[in-house]
């Protein structure tokens, strides 16, 4: 068992198309490209730095809850966007730090999401570098609960053959748009329940050099299969680690469910796996203009070879 020596606090660096302008009062004000959106954020429990009138002036689109919603909006609760004139329903941003840049089509969804989690750029950097470090042969990378494909694009840009698994067909289609915008291929799109897919891969004896696991707190598979993080995560991690190349691989577990710490992720992995080198654990965050750091998830990641970072 190999424990990390410290907890890292990581924020993405070169993200010119994104900025967290302000946060507070359970909200965040963000710029994506040239458009600014206001939406709920349950962890922003402090006061806003800017006034409400300044938020109203800056925001091109504001997400509003349905009447009767609680202060903390759950991921399965719908609302609506109020757009100013000139604010499109869809637009494109670029993350330029990886090769020729990753491009993403954004859109205003009824679940407050817009198509990317910008703090994940710090993990995309790790995935891209770790994939390149695997060597000249085309590595196999598995991305589970893969959403609109930021991690898949990062691995593909580094030369991997990627298996991208998500249970929602429109989300898979959205990820496909992003791959075309980014001019990247070598991605196999799988619409399936993540647990069912992984257990089938275990029975097949499949091996992956990279595994990315980014599960939600709750979810449903394409046939109504139920996913509950605290009930299913241990089995999922055990199955994934049985698929990981023990000589030359990397593993990344990302969690954004409130109440799960990086130490929980570390202890879970270390309870079932021992071939760990260069472990890292910590929190992802974004900093607003007022200097407040907004936590947006935790991670645990490691390599299975002895090469230095």
For residue 206, the model assigns a pLDDT of: 98
For residue 309, the model assigns a pLDDT of: 61
For residue 308, the model assigns a pLDDT of: 63
236: tokens are 């999922």
**Residue of 69 and 212 predicted with greater confidence:** 212
Q: Residues 7-12+118-303: name the CATH superfamily.
A: Vaccinia Virus protein VP39 (3.40.50.150)
For residue 2, the model assigns a pLDDT of: 66
Q: What is the pLDDT of residues 260-278, one digit of tens each?
A: 899 999 999 999 998 899 9
For 101-156, give the secondary structure using H, E and C: CEEEEEECCCCCCCCCCHHHHHHHHHHHHHHHHCCCCCCEEEEECCCCCHHHHHHH
Say whether pLDDT at 17 is over 60.
yes
151: tokens are 């991690």
Neighbours of 300 (CB within 10 A): 27
Pairing between β-strand 250-255 and β-strand 210-213 as defined by DSSP bridges: parallel
pTM: 0.93
Give the whole-angstrom CA distance, residue 101 versus residue 92: 12
> Which of the four pLDDT bands, split at 50, 70 and 90, describes residue 153?
very high
The domain locations on the chain are 7-12+118-303, 18-94
Give the whole-angstrom CA distance, residue 301 versus residue 108: 31
Q: Residues 18-94: name the CATH superfamily.
A: Golgi alpha-mannosidase II (2.60.40.1180)
Give the whole-angstrom CA distance, residue 129 versus residue 150: 14
**Rounded percentage of the chain residues whose pLDDT exceeds 70:** 94
Q: What is the pLDDT of residues 176-185, one digit of tens each?
A: 999 999 999 9
For residue 269, the model assigns a pLDDT of: 96
CB 294 within 8 A of CB 41: yes
Lowest mean pLDDT among 59-63, 69-73, 205-209, 279-283: 69-73
Q: What is the mean pLDDT of the chain?
A: 92
Collapse the DSSP code of 65 into the 3-class scheme (helix H, G, I; strand E, B; otherwise coil) and give the result. strand
What residues pair up with 64 in beta bridges, in sequence order? 80
Residue 74 zone, left/alpha/beta (φ > 0; ψ -120 to 50; rest): beta
Average pLDDT over residues 203-210: 98
Give the whole-angstrom CA distance, residue 109 versus residue 272: 38
Lowest mean pLDDT among 36-45, 47-56, 254-263: 254-263
**Residue of 91 and 3 predicted with greater confidence:** 91
Residue 130 phi/psi, 5° resolution? -65, -35
Residue 42 zone, left/alpha/beta (φ > 0; ψ -120 to 50; rest): alpha
Give the whole-angstrom CA distance, residue 286 versus residue 264: 22
15: tokens are 């993200």
Q: What is the pLDDT of residues 61-120, one digit of tens each?
A: 999 977 554 444 444 567 999 999 999 999 999 999 888 899 999 999 998 999 999 999
| Sequence-ordered list of residues with C-beta below 8 angstroms from that of 38, at least 6 positions apart, any chain | 27, 28, 29, 30, 55, 59, 61, 62, 63
Owner of token pair 């994939």: 131
**Rounded percentage of the chain residues whose pLDDT exceeds 90:** 81
Say whether pLDDT at 57 is over 60.
yes
CB 233 within 8 A of CB 268: yes
Average pLDDT over residues 272-285: 93
Say whether pLDDT at 145 is over 80.
yes
Say whether pLDDT at 45 is over 80.
yes
For residue 71, the model assigns a pLDDT of: 46
For residue 14, the model assigns a pLDDT of: 81
Say whether pLDDT at 198 is over 60.
yes
């Amino acid at each position: 068992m190999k424990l990390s020596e410290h907890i890292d606090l990581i924020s993405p660096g070169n993200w010119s198309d994104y900025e967290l302008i302000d946060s507070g009062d359970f909200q965040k004000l963000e710029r994506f490209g040239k458009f600014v959106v206001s939406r709920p954020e349950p962890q922003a429990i402090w006061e806003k730095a800017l006034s409400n009138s300044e938020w109203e002036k800056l925001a091109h689109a504001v997400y509003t809850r349905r009447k009767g919603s609680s202060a903390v909006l759950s991921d399965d609760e719908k609302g609506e966007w109020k757009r100013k004139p000139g604010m499109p329903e869809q637009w494109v941003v670029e993350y330029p730090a990886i090769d020729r840049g990753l491009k993403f089509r954004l859109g205003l969804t009824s679940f407050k999401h817009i198509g990317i989690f910008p703090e994940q750029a710090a993990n995309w950097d790790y995935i891209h570098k770790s994939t390149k470090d695997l060597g000249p042969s085309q590595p196999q990378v598995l991305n589970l609960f893969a959403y609109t494909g930021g991690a898949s694009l990062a691995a593909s840009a580094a030369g991997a053959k990627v298996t991208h698994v998500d249970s929602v067909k429109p989300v898979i289609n959205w990820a496909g748009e992003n791959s075309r915008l980014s001019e990247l291929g070598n991605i196999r799109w799988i619409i399936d329940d993540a647990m069912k897919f992984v257990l089938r891969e275990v029975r097949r004896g499949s091996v992956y050099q990279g595994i990315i696991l980014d599960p939600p707190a709750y979810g449903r598979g394409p046939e109504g299969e139920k996913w509950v993080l605290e009930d299913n995560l241990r089995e999922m991690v055990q199955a994934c680690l049985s698929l990981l190349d023990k000589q030359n691989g990397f593993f990344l577990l990302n969690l954004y469910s409130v109440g799960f710490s990086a130490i929980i992720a570390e202890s879970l992995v270390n309870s079932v796996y021992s071939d760990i080198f260069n472990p890292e654990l910590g929190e992802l965050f974004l900093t607003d203009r007022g200097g407040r750091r907004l936590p947006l998830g935790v991670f645990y990641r490691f390599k299975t070879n002895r090469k230095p970072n």
